[in-house]
């Protein structure tokens, strides 16, 4: 099977990369795994919340200059200021064209509400999610949170606790919901219990747009713990568009080996396609970090399991981790070494046609810097546009 | 300052020994109070490797301990059968070990009354296919696996049901002396932040390694030697039987299957007193355990390590100073009236989890003679709550409960599963068709360990838990493969815990994962970081 571009990995980076190559009229295949990390999404995408040294960055486009000085290997530094601004705008446009209505922009971060009620900066949030301009102000003075009884992955009590601190009156209203409960019924429940200015529901309720039409006051979506319905929905939309544009997605498959010709990958083999090789002018590796199984830690070191690429890491095992949980973890910075155009490095040599996009890259910390989704989308687009 | 009611006996320390003593004393008719600084089984008890010793391990080097072990082994199988898995044990002679030791070993076992059968390498491989196929020989002994949390909880429940008061999260701040007699203790309640004085004619110091400090409060000197032992938890049950090396007890030579995991232990390192509270598992220890573990059972090389943990053995120095494994691990019972001329004060320390009941018996015998009460010890005959009914009949009583959930519930609680089942059934059978309780009752909160929300609600109501860590010790929420990634936020939401507790729990789990953070352990940890730090926005402010 011969393509212009073969993309390994079906997460956010792989899919956006496929989309941008297809839009340029190239033939493209995606070898996608069972599930992507999009199911762990919060329903919002982040671009840049803080610089590597910890300074908050409320206006990502302005902060990018400083970031460049702080980190040489950061993917955003490699993309460059000009392309960063361009690609961020392009991503916003692309999502809009796909029919994913989003709130927010790369000019200024807004604040989303997390499943436990805290306010966290974000770049884009799905339409309908509660997004505010400042962390301490809500768009209502009283609210009712409606949630399905017995649903364990949503914490109205935590959210109420945080909102009450902000001076808002909160009431939590559990209601009975089964597989066959129709959206009209939920709307009726919300309309009948009209005790507050606004209503909020967990983001696991389908047909939210319809609910918003049927309810007589503002309704907001609140993120839940995974699986994230919004993240999976985004994945579905991206996949659908890729197929529409003529791309091939090999789902629940896994690249297993490659044949090299000097510094160039000649063919890639996958588990399901057996000995039928994928040939591509360019190969993109977007298999993710540790969580997405694109990187693998062993007792002795970190490896990239598919091509055994060079990894930026610390040889001392003790230095890989911070003993305090939820603080700066050194292992998060580890990743595949690339040159400035995201070509992978193997045995000290830059490869000819193997590009890397997404969470597997070196030099950034998605948790501390709040840039996981942004790195995936922007490097995906950047690598895809290059061809 | 509040002066609480009087008791006959005050026991300090809520480990297996303290709880066992409380149970024994209350069964003999005393009014008992047990004081524990944190929750039950938070010290050496909770970090035990869970081997139900047959005594074979000590037969050659310490026959006295070996005899105590086999005696208690037989008793525990009777009174605490729900905490025990009868796996049997093998002592393997590996290619690098000396086969001549086997003969000495078997003789020593027989002399101590431990059944020991010599097996050929082939027979051993047949009994447990996971053993190193290169082994030269093996001896079969009646080892097993024991769950220290369940054992402690069962003692707690029984003591409480017979009228003992158990005060957890109460710290002893001072021992009240009147001339040369101890008459009570001064305690501080961490929850209400209140100081109390409680009085009793006898005070028992059963705090294990912290015994030195508690003794000093009464002006007595005892010397403890803190000795750290580290262990690894593998995420699968690799071996069928408890595996030991057939050589003199050394480092990293025990492999115990326990519920769904395998425990590899242990090391032995003397540490200074100030390191007890934050004893760390070092990379050298991890490498040693991994290497030696793979020699016992090569399949471990392909098995995920869930976490590492360490405990501190409460070894008491009697006479001249020794260290590490050569120090007596036997039971140490000090009657301070005899030793230091201080009436009303007893220290029980040393020993092993295996001998907790015997230690309790000796202690309460001494209390009886001090108070002039003639009461016989019955703890060797009376089964603990959880072991009072046959498993088959327990199973029958809960037949309407889904089989997977039923099995795991009985495994964790023995016959007390029936009470939890009744509790869940009340919620489940509520008349009102659509109530939150009803929907929650049977919903699975922790998919790794098959724990229902109903069980968690029961633990909150009946088992006296006050935070997520306690919940883990009572129901094993967060102990499975995901190490709390999915279930802990759910449990916090259900119980109404605050966010700091969630972070504290994650920190405790991370402490165990960090030393073995590679492979799937690091992968899960990254997901946990993304979920709690990224999606939820939790922040850990501590330094």
- Exposure b/e, B459-493, CB count within 10 A at least 16 = b: bbeebbbbbbbbbbbbbbbbbbbbbbbbbbbbbbb
Q: According to the model, what pLDDT value does residue B2 have?
A: 63
CB-CB under 8 Å, A226 with B493: no
Confidence band for B320, pLDDT divided at 50, 70 and 90: low
Confidence band for B478, pLDDT divided at 50, 70 and 90: confident
Token pair 């995936």: residue: A376
Question: Is A173 an 8 Å CB contact of chain B?
Answer: no
Together in a domain, B293 and B435: no
Confidence band for B322, pLDDT divided at 50, 70 and 90: very low
How far apart CA A311 and CA B146 sit, in angstroms, is 44
Neighbours of B396 (CB within 10 A): 9
Q: According to the model, what pLDDT value does residue B435 have?
A: 77
Q: According to the model, what pLDDT value does residue A23 have?
A: 93
CATH number, domain containing residue B294: 3.30.9.10
Min distance A16 CA to chain B CA atoms (Å) = 21
Residues of chain B contacting residue A328, judged by C-beta atoms under 8 Å apart: none
- Check residue A129 and report its DSSP letter: B
CB-CB under 8 Å, B537 with A119: yes
Say if residues B41 and B473 touch (Cβ distance below 8 Å).
yes
Together in a domain, B410 and B506: yes
- B541 in a domain, yes or no? no
CB-CB under 8 Å, B517 with A116: no
- Residues 83-112, chain A: which have Cβ within 8 Å of B? none
Nearest Cβ partner for B527 among A291, A318, A321: A291
Strand partners, B45: none
Spans of all domains in chain A: 2-100+230-386, 130-222
Q: According to the model, what pLDDT value does residue B324 have?
A: 44
Q: According to the model, what pLDDT value does residue B441 have?
A: 84
How far apart CA B178 and CA B182 sit, in angstroms, is 6
Burial class (CB in 10 A: 0-12, 13-18, 19+), B127: middle
Q: Which stretches within B28-62 are classed as H helix?
A: none
Q: Which residues contact A62 (CB under 8 A, 6 or more apart)?
A: none
Angle at CA B90, nearest 5°, toward B89 and B92? 155
Which fold does the domain A130-222 belong to in CATH?
Answer: Rossmann fold (3.40.50)
Angle between the N-to-C axes of helices B16-27 and B148-161, in degrees from 0 to 180, rounded to the nearest 10:
30
Q: According to the model, what pLDDT value does residue B321 have?
A: 46
- Check residue A2 and report its DSSP letter: E
CATH of the domain spanning A2-100+230-386 = 3.50.50.60
How far apart CA A21 and CA A36 sit, in angstroms, is 20
Instruction: Point out the residues of chain A with pLDDT beneath 50.
Output: none
Q: What mean pLDDT comes out for the span B182-188?
A: 95
| CA A326 distance to own-chain centroid | 19
Q: According to the model, what pLDDT value does residue A178 have?
A: 84
What is the β-pairing status of strands B444-446 and B451-452? Answer: antiparallel
How far apart CA B533 and CA B537 sit, in angstroms, is 5
Together in a domain, B403 and B503: yes
Is the predicted pLDDT of residue B464 greater than 90, yes or no? no
Together in a domain, B506 and B472: yes
Say if residues B336 and B175 touch (Cβ distance below 8 Å).
no
How far apart CA A256 and CA A269 sit, in angstroms, is 6
Together in a domain, B470 and B499: yes
Count interface pairs A-B at CB distance under 8 A.
132
- Residues 422-461, chain B: which have Cβ within 8 Å of A? 434-436, 438-440, 443, 445, 453
Nearest Cβ partner for A320 among B517, B519, B537: B517
Angle between the N-to-C axes of helices B63-79 and B356-371, in degrees from 0 to 180, rounded to the nearest 10:
90
Q: According to the model, what pLDDT value does residue A223 have?
A: 93
Residue of B nearest to A162 (CA): B499
Q: How many domains does chain B have?
A: 3
Sign of CA dihedral A238, A242, A243, A245: positive
Q: According to the model, what pLDDT value does residue A79 have?
A: 96
Question: Is A327 an 8 Å CB contact of chain B?
Answer: yes
Min distance A164 CA to chain B CA atoms (Å) = 15
Together in a domain, B405 and B348: no
Nearest Cβ partner for B522 among A116, A226, A331: A331
How far apart CA A100 and CA A233 sit, in angstroms, is 9
Nearest Cβ partner for B532 among A150, A317, A326: A326
Q: According to the model, what pLDDT value does residue B480 have?
A: 81
Each residue's pLDDT tens digit, A166-204: 999 999 999 988 888 899 999 999 999 999 999 999 998
Residues of chain A contacting residue B540, judged by C-beta atoms under 8 Å apart: 324-327
Residues of chain B contacting residue A149, judged by C-beta atoms under 8 Å apart: 434-436, 439
CATH number, domain containing residue B13: 3.50.50.60
CB-CB under 8 Å, A317 with B443: no
- Residues 289-308, chain A: which have Cβ within 8 Å of B? 289-291, 293, 296-299
Question: Is B541 an 8 Å CB contact of chain A?
Answer: no
Token duo for residue B515? 């030393």
Say if residues B359 and B20 touch (Cβ distance below 8 Å).
yes
CB-CB under 8 Å, A152 with B445: yes
Each residue's pLDDT tens digit, B113-152: 999 999 999 999 999 999 999 999 999 999 999 999 999 9
- B6 in a domain, yes or no? yes
What is the extent of the structural domain holding B96?
A: 56-61+81-145+228-309
Together in a domain, B452 and B530: yes
More confident residue, B49 or B327: B49
- Residues 278-297, chain B: which have Cβ within 8 Å of A? 283, 287, 290
Together in a domain, B217 and B282: no
CB-CB under 8 Å, B490 with A321: no
- Indicate the range of A250-259, B332-341, B460-469 predicted with least confidence: B460-469
Strand partners, B315: B225
Q: According to the model, what pLDDT value does residue B254 have?
A: 95
Say if residues B9 and B23 touch (Cβ distance below 8 Å).
no
CB-CB under 8 Å, B538 with A120: no
CB-CB under 8 Å, A325 with B506: yes
φ and ψ of B384, to 5 deg: -75, 160
Neighbours of B247 (CB within 10 A): 18
Element (H, E) at A349: strand A349-356
How far apart CA A69 and CA A74 sit, in angstroms, is 10
Question: Is B165 an 8 Å CB contact of chain A?
Answer: no
Min distance A317 CA to chain B CA atoms (Å) = 8
Nearest Cβ partner for A174 among B436, B519, B528: B436
Q: Which stretches within B182-282 are classed as H helix?
A: 211-217
Residue of B nearest to A49 (CA): B534
CB-CB under 8 Å, A155 with B283: no
Each residue's pLDDT tens digit, B484-528: 888 888 899 888 888 889 999 999 999 999 999 999 999 999 999
Together in a domain, B156 and B141: no
- Exposure b/e, B111-121, CB count within 10 A at least 16 = b: ebebebeebeb
Is the predicted pLDDT of residue B68 greater than 70, yes or no? yes
- B458 in a domain, yes or no? yes
Closest CA to A381 of A101, A137, A21, A110: A21
Together in a domain, B107 and B125: yes
Question: Is B489 an 8 Å CB contact of chain A?
Answer: yes
Together in a domain, B333 and B240: no
Q: According to the model, what pLDDT value does residue B484 have?
A: 84
CB-CB under 8 Å, B283 with A318: yes
* Residue from B530, B539, B540, B543 to probe the interface with A (highest A Cβ count within 10 Å): B530
- Residues 234-273, chain A: which have Cβ within 8 Å of B? none
Together in a domain, B24 and B169: yes
Residues of chain B contacting residue A323, judged by C-beta atoms under 8 Å apart: 510-511, 514
Q: According to the model, what pLDDT value does residue B447 have?
A: 86
3-state secondary structure of B539: coil
- B70 in a domain, yes or no? no
* Residue from A152, A222, A330 to probe the interface with B (highest B Cβ count within 10 Å): A152
Min distance A64 CA to chain B CA atoms (Å) = 21
Q: Which stretches within A303-371 are classed as H helix?
A: 366-369
Residues of chain B contacting residue A359, judged by C-beta atoms under 8 Å apart: none
CB-CB under 8 Å, A119 with B434: no
Q: According to the model, what pLDDT value does residue B329 have?
A: 61
């Amino acid at each position: 099977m011969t393509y212009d571009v073969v993309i390994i990995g079906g997460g956010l980076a792989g899919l956006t990369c496929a989309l941008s190559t297809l839009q340029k009229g190239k033939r493209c295949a995606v070898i996608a795994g069972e599930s992507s990390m999009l199911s762990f999404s919060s329903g919002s995408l982040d671009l840049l919340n803080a610089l590597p040294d910890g300074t908050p960055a409320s206006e990502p486009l302005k902060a990018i200059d400083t970031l460049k000085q702080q980190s040489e290997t950061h993917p955003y530094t490699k993309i460059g200021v000009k392309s960063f601004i361009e690609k961020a705008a392009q991503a916003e446009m692309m999502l809009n064209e796909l029919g994913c209505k989003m709130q927010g922009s790369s000019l200024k971060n807004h604040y989303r509400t997390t499943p436990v009620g805290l306010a966290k900066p974000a770049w884009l949030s799905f339409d309908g999610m509660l997004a505010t301009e400042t962390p301490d102000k809500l768009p209502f003075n009283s609210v009712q949170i409606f949630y399905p009884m017995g649903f364990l992955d949503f914490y109205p009590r935590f959210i109420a606790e945080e909102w009450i601190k902000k001076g808002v009156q909160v009431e939590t209203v559990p209601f009975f919901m089964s597989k066959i409960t129709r959206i009209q019924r939920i709307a009726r429940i919300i309309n009948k219990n009209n005790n507050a200015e606004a209503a909020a529901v967990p983001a696991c309720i389908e047909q939210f747009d319809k609910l918003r039409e049927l309810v007589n006051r503002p309704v907001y979506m609140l993120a839940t713990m995974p699986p994230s319905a919004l993240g999976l929905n985004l994945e579905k939309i991206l996949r659908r568009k890729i197929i529409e544009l003529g791309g091939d997605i090999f789902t629940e498959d896994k690249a297993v080996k490659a044949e090299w010709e000097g510094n160039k990958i000649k063919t890639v083999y996958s588990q399901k396609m057996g000995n039928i090789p994928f040939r591509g002018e360019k190969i993109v590796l977007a298999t993710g970090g540790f969580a997405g199984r694109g990187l693998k830690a062993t007792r002795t070191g970190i490896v990239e399991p598919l091509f055994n690429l060079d990894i930026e890491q610390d040889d001392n095992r003790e230095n890989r981790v911070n003993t305090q949980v939820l603080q700066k973890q050194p292992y998060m910075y580890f990743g595949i070494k690339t040159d400035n155009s995201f070509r992978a490095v193997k045995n000290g040599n830059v490869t000819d046609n193997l590009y890397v996009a997404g969470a597997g890259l070196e030099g950034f910390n998605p948790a501390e810097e709040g840039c996981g989704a942004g790195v995936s989308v922007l490097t995906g687009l950047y690598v895809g546009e290059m061809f | 300052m509040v002066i609480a009611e009087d008791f006959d006996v005050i026991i300090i320390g809520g480990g297996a020994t303290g709880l066992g003593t409380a149970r024994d004393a209350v069964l003999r008719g005393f009014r008992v109070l047990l004081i524990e600084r944190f929750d039950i089984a938070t010290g050496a008890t909770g970090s035990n490797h869970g081997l139900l010793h047959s005594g074979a391990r000590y037969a050659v080097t310490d026959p006295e301990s070996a005899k105590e072990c086999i005696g208690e082994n037989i008793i525990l199988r009777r009174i605490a059968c729900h905490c025990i898995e009868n796996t049997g044990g093998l002592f393997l002679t590996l290619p690098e070990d000396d086969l001549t030791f086997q003969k000495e070993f078997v003789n020593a076992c027989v002399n101590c009354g431990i059944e020991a059968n010599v097996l050929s390498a082939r027979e051993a491989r047949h009994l447990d296919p996971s053993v190193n196929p290169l082994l030269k020989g093996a001896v079969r002994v009646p080892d097993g696996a024991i769950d220290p949390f369940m054992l402690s909880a069962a003692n707690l429940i029984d003591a409480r049901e017979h009228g003992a008061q158990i005060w957890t999260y109460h710290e002893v701040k001072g021992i009240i002396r009147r001339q040369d007699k101890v008459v009570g203790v001064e305690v501080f309640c961490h929850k209400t932040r209140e100081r109390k004085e409680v009085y009793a004619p006898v005070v028992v110091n059963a705090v294990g390694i912290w015994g030195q400090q508690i003794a000093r409060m009464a002006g007595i000197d005892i010397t403890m030697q803190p000795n750290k032992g580290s262990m690894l938890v593998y995420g699968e049950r690799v071996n069928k039987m408890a595996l030991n090396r057939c050589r003199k007890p050394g480092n990293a030579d025990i492999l115990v299957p326990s519920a769904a995991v395998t425990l590899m232990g242990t090391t032995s390192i003397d540490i200074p007193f100030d390191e007890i509270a934050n004893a760390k598992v070092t990379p050298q220890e991890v490498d040693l355990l991994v290497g030696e573990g793979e020699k016992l059972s090569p399949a471990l090389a392909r098995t995920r390590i869930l976490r590492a943990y360490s405990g501190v053995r409460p070894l008491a120095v009697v006479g001249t100073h020794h260290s590490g494994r050569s120090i007596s691990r036997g039971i140490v019972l000090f009657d301070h009236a005899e030793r230091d001329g201080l009436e009303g004060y007893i220290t029980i320390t040393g020993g092993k989890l295996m001998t907790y009941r015997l230690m309790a018996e000796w202690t309460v015998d001494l209390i009886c003679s001090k108070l002039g009460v003639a009461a016989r010890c019955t703890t060797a005959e009376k089964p603990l709550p959880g072991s009072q009914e046959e498993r088959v009949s327990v199973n029958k009583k809960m037949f309407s409960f889904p089989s997977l959930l039923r099995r795991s519930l009985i495994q964790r609680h023995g016959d007390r599963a029936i009470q939890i089942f009744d509790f869940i059934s009340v919620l489940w059978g509520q008349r009102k068709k659509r109530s939150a309780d009803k929907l929650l009752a049977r919903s699975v909160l922790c998919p790794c360990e098959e724990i229902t929300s109903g069980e968690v609600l029961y633990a909150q109501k009946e088992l006296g838990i006050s935070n997520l860590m306690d919940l883990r010790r009572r129901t094993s929420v967060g102990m499975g493969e995901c190490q709390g990634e999915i279930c802990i936020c759910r449990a916090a939401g259900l119980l109404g815990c605050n966010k700091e507790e969630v972070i504290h729990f994650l920190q405790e789990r991370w402490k165990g994962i960090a030393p073995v953070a590679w492979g799937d352990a690091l992968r899960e940890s990254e997901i946990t970081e993304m979920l709690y730090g990224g999606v939820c926005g939790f922040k850990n402010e501590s330094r």
